Structure 1
């Protein structure tokens, strides 16, 4: 028998490093939520916003690095070593009492003004379900029908649609005798009679049909019912000529009715719920300072977290081999500070490398975008390509011409006829400029745009032009021609 020893070297990530990698991929919103969660359950972490005293070191600066320099052995030591008390340590009750009182008085200063906060004065959002329940409670219905109607209301999605089949709702309701499909249809009809009109629909066509009784003109209402019930696809395609031929009506009347249908609300549930609009908060900001482009972190996305020196000092004075859980929490707090610093330091390094490679973009816009790959940035920053991919995921850069995701600056090289390289972003900009410059009465097809690019020395396939046009959310040539007409 032939025995051979096969020696291989493999790299494995420690749990601590795997956790750091996962944190690097999170968006700023998710990362801040994670840090807030840690601050809520780890007594050694506290909010460092607005304070700069001797109780802790706020981020971002070099807080984690400074903590590492002060306590290098404790960071890497196991829990048993962390909690081993020094032999000459003595109890200092008076100093401990001072620490506790100082921390308590600071808390009182932060929340003892007695005034209502802005959150207390905010109006509560009315959800679609609460709005419908308020109406259904005013109706005089049998108890069984009331239960079925409320079950339908609770099954609606945020658009106001009933996506769950009635057959499934029948099986989920523990009623005696069991509810029938006819019972559910009747309960659904009750819900569909509530405000807003269109709520409880099972598809877009039904949602629009439920709103058609609001049309005051009988002729327009009857024609709208025919369009919504039989020709919904032609309505979505804005094929007014085809609809007029199918319905046997004049083009003017059909177009007038179609415009009225488009003013109906296909998502009635959107009128309720939170009115808050989520905006993209950039992670880095690019500015021109003294004719040079500078990149800086956005302070709004950096968590203001620091080590609570009061609790850390108390634990240091009274630590014992039995306090392994608190030792782990202290170590977790220090790792969190290090991860926060490392995360934003890496984001800043990658953003600066991108800025240096794409400086012409900031000067002249998307037309000057250069081809750029992850490998180039990885080699310049000194990290792995996968790390660059994680850093640029859900991270945004604010520039004088707009806010862009960091991935926006990466695109593969496309060789022109003269041998020079051009980025896909620049070609998309050309496609947009060509379409914006076309005559409205004679829009250009994707094939004609391809030929125009070829005359400029850019050999691009027609399907690539189609893909870029769709990414720019520009209509096809037929629809642009129809709109112009």
Structure 2
């Protein structure tokens, strides 16, 4: 075989660094996106952020007066940035091959800022004409310091006990409590862990435990749920003696049976009628199974919407949330240096990466907006009538409409949230499988879950609906659904079974 050189043309797909960055930014949530940006801003000197998180902060001068210079400088800076951007974009269109032509590029339009004179504002940074009669109204308030369960109990110990030995034993019991307020170790285990030279008697530990159990909140330092509820029932005020005694007997001896709501067996065991059992049930429900939960320091996780849906006339308008859209640009100082050096230097790769990031960020939010608009168009009935009017929707339908791949739609709808008049939902919420109807149509699984929730919410608590009965009621509405499917949807809604929903 004779060797020869041949020239052939072919096409193939390759994941360029720019495309890899675009895919990674698209699948990030809002929080992860801002964390990624903070890292990129530190690593790349060519990139800077226009929106300052401290722009809206109150700045104080040395004499204590409030300075609004930050607002004025922000307004001037925004105007200058916009003008520089327009000039730069003009030069980019003229010659795309020059490195120094592309200087700045904002991801979103900078909002118009208005400046007010010093005479229009008082010391408390509120308009003089609308100043409230209350001095503290409108001023930022500091959050009170969080008090843990241990601190709350130690304060009560200092008031009630004076002997150092008693205080030490009580503090030992308090240290053994968990976050829910339960004593996780037995008194024998605590006694065995103490040094022998302290000569601590078991009776002393029992006294310390009884002292802690007398503290607030009621039920603290209990060793079991039965003991926790019993401690609270004993301290409840204005309870009839017969009712209190029955409630104590139930939680101390038959708490599992009460949790299963087997009221017929309870009436036979305690030889009581339905009215007495109902009154005891009300007393037990006044107790807290976890008395230390109110002192928990777990902060709530808040979700910030990426898009906002508003009704304008008869149409539904989809808007991007400007508060979560970072405004980026290429650093003008370094860009001017690159311009003078005609694109030669060690910062050329960083300049290209900064341009890629600005472009990919713009593309990310544009894709989210397009997908959200397509979802709103297909789920218009949901925004009018609620979840019961949700129609079946799959990723391929949106992908074919927008000319995108299903994987792109999946990345866009993951951990991205939409604020609607019915609440805030993840974009994946609007997608769901279908269930056939008797008329040959299709019903969304989301709509069926909403109907199940409505039926259970309107049921008679003395005779709740079983899964089979709910399936029959849905069948009467034309939805062919099996009992096990109803059970699966009910469990997804975190609704207990029929035996646990029954009440007296």
1:368 aligned partner: 389
Find the residue that maps to 2:317 and give its secondary structure. Answer: strand
8 Å contact kept, 1:149–1:187 = no
The question of 1:249 aligning with 2:275 is answered: no
Over 3 Å counting, the alpha-carbon distance change for 1:280 and 1:149 in structure 2 is: same
Q: 2:225 aligns with which of 187, 195, 204?
A: 204
8 Å contact kept, 1:197–1:211 = yes
Q: What does residue range 446-461 of structure 1 map to in structure 2 within 5 Å?
A: 446-461=467-482
- Give, in whole Å, the separation in 1 of the partners of 2:338 and 2:196: 64
Q: TM-score, normalised by structure 1?
A: 0.68
Over 3 Å counting, the alpha-carbon distance change for 1:224 and 1:290 in structure 2 is: closer
Over 3 Å counting, the alpha-carbon distance change for 1:240 and 1:376 in structure 2 is: same
1:393 aligned partner: 414
Q: 2:256 aligns with which of 229, 233, 248?
A: 233
Cα drift, residue 350 of structure 1: 1.4
Find the residue that maps to 1:234 and give its secondary structure. Answer: helix
8 Å contact kept, 2:170–2:212 = no
Over 3 Å counting, the alpha-carbon distance change for 1:243 and 1:437 in structure 2 is: closer
Cα drift, residue 391 of structure 1: 2.1
8 Å contact kept, 2:28–2:415 = yes
Over 3 Å counting, the alpha-carbon distance change for 1:221 and 1:438 in structure 2 is: closer
The question of 1:269 aligning with 2:292 is answered: yes
Find the residue that maps to 2:78 and give its secondary structure. Answer: coil
- Give, in whole Å, the separation in 1 of the partners of 2:491 and 2:301: 25
1:24 aligned partner: 26
Find the residue that maps to 1:53 and give its secondary structure. Answer: helix
- Give, in whole Å, the separation in 1 of the partners of 2:27 and 2:208: 44
Q: What residue ranges of structure 1 are gaps of 5+ in the alignment?
A: 1-8, 76-112
Over 3 Å counting, the alpha-carbon distance change for 1:246 and 1:36 in structure 2 is: farther
1:53 aligned partner: 78
8 Å contact kept, 1:170–1:184 = no
Q: What does residue range 290-309 of structure 1 map to in structure 2 within 5 Å?
A: 290-303=313-326, 305-307=327-329, 309=331
Cα RMSD of the aligned pairs, angstroms, is: 5.2
Q: 2:380 aligns with which of 359, 372, 393?
A: 359
Q: What residue ranges of structure 2 are gaps of 5+ in the alignment?
A: 1-10, 53-73, 101-122, 126-135
- Give, in whole Å, the separation in 1 of the partners of 2:295 and 2:185: 21
Q: What does residue range 322-471 of structure 1 map to in structure 2 within 5 Å?
A: 336-435=357-456, 444-471=465-492
Cα drift, residue 307 of structure 1: 3.5
Over 3 Å counting, the alpha-carbon distance change for 1:174 and 1:215 in structure 2 is: closer
Q: Deviations over 1:216-274 (max 9, x none)?
A: 56654443333222222233234444322222334333322221121112232332356
Find the residue that maps to 2:400 and give its secondary structure. Answer: helix
Between 1 and 2, higher relative CO (CA 8 Å, sep ≥ 6) is seen in 1
Cα drift, residue 402 of structure 1: 3.3
1:127 aligned partner: 148
8 Å contact kept, 1:67–1:334 = no
- Give, in whole Å, the separation in 1 of the partners of 2:473 and 2:184: 47
Matched length: 429
Which segment drifts farther, 209-218 or 397-406? 209-218
- Give, in whole Å, the separation in 1 of the partners of 2:199 and 2:340: 65
Which segment drifts farther, 184-193 or 204-213? 184-193
Cα drift, residue 412 of structure 1: 1.4
Over 3 Å counting, the alpha-carbon distance change for 1:13 and 1:476 in structure 2 is: same
- Give, in whole Å, the separation in 2 of the partners of 1:72 and 1:178: 84
8 Å contact kept, 2:261–2:499 = no
- Give, in whole Å, the separation in 2 of the partners of 1:308 and 1:353: 33
1:283 aligned partner: 306
Cα drift, residue 295 of structure 1: 1.3
Find the residue that maps to 1:212 and give its secondary structure. Answer: helix
- Give, in whole Å, the separation in 1 of the partners of 2:144 and 2:443: 53
Over 3 Å counting, the alpha-carbon distance change for 1:164 and 1:26 in structure 2 is: farther
8 Å contact kept, 2:21–2:360 = no
Find the residue that maps to 2:328 and give its secondary structure. Answer: strand
